[in-house]
Chains A and B, each alone.
Chain A
Amino acid sequence: MTETPTTDTAKNTDAAETSTVRLITTPADPGEGADPALAAAPAHARARAYGPLALGLTEPAAPGFVRLSLGDAVTSAPTTAGDAAPATGGPATSPVIALPAWPDGATPSILDEYGTAPVPVERSGETRRVLAACLRACWSDLSAEPWPGVPASVADVLACYRALIGRGDDMTRSRAVGALRRLADTGWIIRSGDVVRLGPRCATWPPESHSVLRELVRRLPGPQAAAGPVTLPLDASAPLDQPTPSETPAASSDAAHSGHGEPAAAPADVRPGGAGRDETASDLDKLLSAYDERRRAELVAAFMAVEHAAEPVHEARFAALRDPALRRTLAEMLARRGRTLIQRRDTWTSGYDDDVAARVAGAPGAGTRPGLSEGERAVLTLVLVHSVAIPRADGLLSEDTWLSPYPVAVEELRRRTLLPIGELESALRTLRQAGLLTQVKAVSEEAPGGYVPGPQFHRLTAAARRRLQEELILAAGPQTPLATAIRARRA
Chain B
Amino acid sequence: MSPPSRTVLRVPQQTSRERRPAPPRPAHRRDTGRDPGPEALPETLDAALTDEAVLATYRRMFAALARDSGAVVDDPALVDIAETLFDAFAEAGEEWLTHEQMRHACRAHPTDRFESRLRVLRGLGAIREVFPKPNQLRYRASFTSVVGLMFIRRMMDDGGQSEMHRLLALEDLNAADPRTTMEEARQSAGNLARAFRLWALELITLTNGTIEELREQAPKLWGTEEIARRAQSLHGTILRRWPDLDRTCTELRAAIYAYSDASRRAAGRLADSAGTTRNLTLLPAETWRTFAQTASKERLAAVLDGFVFDSPAPWHDPAAIATAVDEAPRPAPVRPAPPRSPLPDAGPVESADGGVAGLDRLAAVAESTLGGRASVPLDEVLTGDWAAMRRVLADLASADLRPELPYRLRWSDAVAADPGGQPSWRSDGTLERVPTDD
Contact = CB atoms under 8 A, between A and B. Distances in A.
A154 B324 CA distance: 21
B331 A166 contact: yes
Contacts of B281: 392-393, 395
Interface in B293-308: 293-308
Pick the most buried of A1, A107, A216, A393: most chain B CB atoms within 10 A of its CB.
A393
A32 interface: no
A128 B282 contact: no
Contacts of A374: 297-298, 301
B315 A119 contact: yes
Nearest to B314: A121
Nearest to B27: A479
Contacts of A185: 312
Contacts of A389: 280, 283, 288
B279 A482 contact: yes
Interface stretch (B153-161, B163-171, B260-268): B260-268
A419 interface: yes
B280 A473 contact: yes
Interface stretch (A47-55, A242-250, A251-259, A441-449): A47-55
Given A2-B302, A485-B271, A187 B313 contact: yes
A441 to B, nearest CB: 21
Interface in A375-407: 375, 377-382, 384-386, 388-390, 392-395, 397, 400-402
Contact of A45 (B46, B308, B320): B308
Given A377-B303, A477-B287, A212 B318 contact: yes
B69 interface: no
A479 B312 contact: no
B308 A125 contact: no
B304 A471 contact: yes
Contact of A5 (B268, B293, B302, B331): B302
B315 A109 contact: yes
Interface in A456-490: 456, 459, 462, 464-473, 475-477, 479-486, 488-489
B270 A485 contact: yes
Interface string A138-182: 000000000000000000000000001111000000000000000
A483 B312 contact: no
Given A128-B316, A205-B318, A212-B318, A481 B267 contact: yes
Interface string B299-340: 111111111111111111111111111111111000000000
Interface string A104-146: 0001110000000011111011111101100100000000000
A375 B46 contact: no
Contacts of A167: 331
A294 B122 CA distance: 84
A464 to B, nearest CB: 7
Q: A interface, by DSSP: helix, strand, loop or mixed?
A: helix
A210 B319 CA distance: 10
Contacts of A216: 318, 321-322, 325
B308 A360 contact: yes
A420 interface: yes
A308 B314 CA distance: 9
Nearest to B38: A481
B317 A107 contact: yes
A232 to B, nearest CB: 6
Given A216-B325, A479-B39, A371 B309 contact: yes
Interface residues of B, number: 75
Contact of B312 (A45, A352, A435, A472): A435
Given A109-B317, A128-B325, A477-B283, A456 B309 contact: yes
A186 B313 CA distance: 6
B283 A480 contact: yes
Contacts of B278: 392, 400
B268 to A, nearest CB: 4
Contacts of A319: none
A120 B315 CA distance: 9
A109 B328 contact: no
A166 B330 contact: yes
Given A131-B321, A213-B318, A481 B276 contact: no
A382 B277 contact: no
Interface string B362-403: 000000000000000000000000000000000000000000
Interface string B108-150: 0000000000000000000000000000000000000000000
A39 interface: no
Contacts of A129: 321, 324-325, 328
Nearest to A128: B324
Pick the most buried of B275, B282, B290, B316: most chain A CB atoms within 10 A of its CB.
B316
Pick the most buried of B40, B279, B284, B303: most chain A CB atoms within 10 A of its CB.
B303
A6 B321 contact: no
A289 interface: no
A372 interface: yes
A109 B319 contact: yes
A9 interface: yes
A287 interface: no
Given A385-B288, A475-B295, A392 B280 contact: yes
A485 B302 CA distance: 20
A51 B276 contact: no
B108 to A, nearest CB: 25
Contacts of B277: 388, 392, 397, 400-402, 465, 469
A125 B304 CA distance: 33
7 contacts: A9-B306, A109-B315, A135-B321, A165-B329, A419-B297, A469-B279, A481-B38
Which are the 10 A-B pairs with shortest beta-carbon distances? A481-B38, A465-B276, A128-B324, A378-B300, A476-B291, A481-B267, A377-B301, A108-B315, A393-B285, A121-B314
Interface of B: 16, 28, 38-42, 46-48, 222, 263-264, 266-268, 270-272, 275-285, 287-331
Given A469-B277, A482-B279, 13 more contacts: A119-B312, A132-B321, A216-B321, A385-B292, A390-B285, A392-B281, A417-B292, A433-B312, A434-B310, A475-B295, A477-B283, A481-B266, A489-B271
